[in-house]
Amino acid sequence: MRTLLLTVSVLALLVFAQRVPAESASPLELRVLSSRTLSGTAGDFVEVVGEIANSSAQATDSITTYLSLVDTGTKMPVDLEDWSAERGLFIGSIDAGQTLPLTWKIHFVQPGAYALAIVAAVEGRDQPIISALTFFKVAAKRNLNPGHVLPVALGEPLLLVFAFLLLKYRRDRKHP
């Protein structure tokens, strides 16, 4: 099911870059609300906020919403295993006219450019519902001295080499 959803998401994202025309719109609408605050740096934890709205006259049951992420550089889907512990959010029922919030906490694991969408799978429907794409960038974290380890990481080997040379010099001087 997960693989199917991923594949369908990628195809959908690549083919349907625009919103679905009104005539074939589903009763449910998905929106990503945090599109302007998503960009960050590798290592950051961010919250993806979205909502699902039921614009039809009937309640809809058994909806599961997922995040779908694609690396726009490599055009490959991103396995969200490292990015988010929260995969699917299950919504038991959404009444007619009701709007419900959706939130996912994600961890920016790798730098790059990405496109994100919320996908909803409804029981009894073949086609999933997909929100508009949200594009964001994750900048690389550049820290040459993580945890202030560099003085030790470089200093110790250099100190040992210095000790080596000093001993050699003293030995050679004493015993030419």
Partner 1 sequence: MLRLLWSKELKAGLYTWKSLAWLLVTSLIFSVTSYLMLTNRELSLLDQTEMLWLLSKVILSAALLVVVIDSSSLITSEFEQETIECLFLAPLTLKDFVLGKLAVSFTLWALVYLVAAPYVIVTSAGSQLTCAMLGYTALYGSLTVLGFTLLVFAVSFFYRSLRNTLTTSLTVLLASSISALFSSGLKRSAFARALGSINPLDNVFASLDNVLVDYQVSLGRNLSFLLPLVGFCAVMFGFLLLALRAFSRKGITKD
Partner 2 sequence: MAEVISASHISKSYGDCKAVDDLSLSVQSGEFFGFLGPNGAGKTTTIRMLTGIMRPDAGTIHIDGHEVRNRQQLSRAIGVLSESRGFYGWMTGEEYLRFFAGLYGIADAERTVSSLLEEVGLGEHKRKTIGAYSRGMEQRLGLARALVNRPQILFLDEPTLGLDPQGQEDVQQLLRRLNQGGATVFYSSHLLHEVSRLCSMVAIINQGRLVATGTLDALERQTGSKDLQSVFFALTNP
Phi, psi of 4 (to 5 degrees): -60, -45
Mention every residue, 6+ apart, whose C-beta is less than 8 A from residue 106.
Answer: 45, 46, 47, 48, 67, 80, 83, 84
Q: Which residues bind partner 1 (CB under 8 A)?
A: 42-43, 45, 82, 107, 109, 141, 143, 146-150, 152-154, 156-157, 160-161, 163-164, 167-168, 171
Contact 102, 50 (CB under 8 A): yes
Minimum CB separation of residue 164 from partner 1 in Å reads: 5
Q: Which does 141 bind (CB under 5 to 8 A by kind): partner 1, partner 2, none?
A: partner 1
Interacting residues with partner 2 between 108 and 127 (CB under 8 A) = none
Type and span of the H or E element at 58:
none
Interacting residues with partner 2 between 70 and 99 (CB under 8 A) = none
Binding segment toward partner 2, per CB under 8 A, in 1-9, 49-57, 101-109, 168-176: 168-176
Helices (H), 25-176: 150-174
Residue 31 or 107 having the CB closest to partner 1: 107
Q: Which does 174 bind (CB under 5 to 8 A by kind): partner 2, partner 1, none?
A: partner 2
Q: Which does 4 bind (CB under 5 to 8 A by kind): partner 1, partner 2, none?
A: none
Q: With 0-12 CB in 10 A as exposed, 13-18 as middle and 19+ as buried, what is 114?
A: buried
Q: Which does 176 bind (CB under 5 to 8 A by kind): partner 2, partner 1, none?
A: partner 2
Residue 142 or 173 having the CB closest to partner 2: 173
Residue 4 or 160 having the CB closest to partner 1: 160
The pair of structure tokens assigned to 158 is 């250099």
Q: What is the DSSP letter of 21?
A: P
Contact 54, 94 (CB under 8 A): yes
Judged by the rule CB under 8 A, the positions of this chain that interact with partner 2 are 174-176
